[in-house]
Amino acid sequence: MANFNKAILIGRLTRDPETRYLQSGTQMTKFSIAVDREFSKKDGSKDTDFFNIVAWGKLAEICNKYLKKGKLVFIDGEIHIDKNEHEGQMKTFISVKANKMQMLGGRSEENISVQKDSYTDSEKYRDAHKHCYGATNEATAKPQKDLTEGIDSLTGIASDEFDDDDFDNTDMPF
């Protein structure tokens, strides 16, 4: 059976992010968000759920730099459950390990979307496929071959692929 662990949340930060560094130098940023439930109670009020979020590495650095209390964010991550002994009792701590974060803006807020890597997917794709986009420096750019040159616009067949001499009418079944 396949396993699946995914959390997708949109909510507002309940406090400013807190950043710590591990002995290895890896940055970890913690914050929590409040998420309103879709349904309302009979009196019209809504319940709110609170989620602890943990970001690591470059994403942690960006969260610490740009997120502030009250900011609306989109979080895509995984649910983590840790059990620790605290004052002689086993305690369970549930958090969401953020893999992606996008700031959702208001009137003057800018939208910033980042993933756990410092290198976004679009940058990775562009760099891996530079040959498709051509060189960025005009001086080093190589002329691109016209791929449609020599192709019949009606049939889509290259004009040099078949000559009229290649066909013999006696080979036709009708």
Residue 126: helix, strand or coil by DSSP?
helix
Residue 107 CB partners (closer than 8 Å, separation 6+):
none
Please report the pLDDT score of residue 70 as a whole number: 94
CA-atom Rg of the chain in angstroms: 28
Instruction: For residue 165, tell me if it sits in a domain.
Output: no
Whether the Cβ atoms of residue 49 and residue 79 lie closer than 8 Å to each other = no
pTM over 0.85: no
Please report the pLDDT score of residue 145 as a whole number: 47
Query: Tokens at residue 149, please?
Result: 């040159």
Instruction: For residue 49, tell me if it sits in a domain.
Output: yes
Instruction: For residue 81, tell me if it sits in a domain.
Output: yes
Instruction: For residue 36, tell me if it sits in a domain.
Output: yes
**Which residue reads 């949109």 in tokens?**
10
Instruction: For residue 148, tell me if it sits in a domain.
Output: no
Instruction: For residue 133, tell me if it sits in a domain.
Output: yes
Please report the pLDDT score of residue 94 as a whole number: 93
Residue 124 CB partners (closer than 8 Å, separation 6+):
none
Distance from the first to the final alpha carbon of the chain: 57
- Give the total residue count for the chain: 174
Please report the pLDDT score of residue 132 as a whole number: 44
Please report the pLDDT score of residue 170 as a whole number: 56
The DSSP 8-state label assigned to residue 31 in this structure reads E
| CATH classification of the domain holding 29 | 2.40.50.140
31 lies in which domain range?
7-139
Instruction: For residue 157, tell me if it sits in a domain.
Output: no
State the DSSP H helix or E strand holding residue 56, giving kind and residue range, or none if neither: strand 46-56
Structurally, the chain folds into a number of domains equal to: 1
Please report the pLDDT score of residue 101 as a whole number: 96
74: left (phi over 0), alpha (psi -120 to 50) or beta: beta
For residues 77-86, b (16+ Cβ closer than 10 Å) or e, as one string? beeeeeeeee
Taking CA atoms, 84 is separated from 60, 89, 94, 141, 153, in Å, by 23, 8, 11, 58, 70
Instruction: For residue 56, tell me if it sits in a domain.
Output: yes
Whether the Cβ atoms of residue 102 and residue 73 lie closer than 8 Å to each other = yes
Per-residue pLDDT of the chain in tens (174 residues, 90 and over written 9): 689 999 999 999 999 999 999 999 999 999 999 999 888 778 888 899 999 999 999 999 999 999 999 999 999 999 999 998 888 899 999 999 999 999 997 655 555 555 555 444 444 445 544 444 444 444 444 444 444 455 554 444 444 444 555 555 555 554
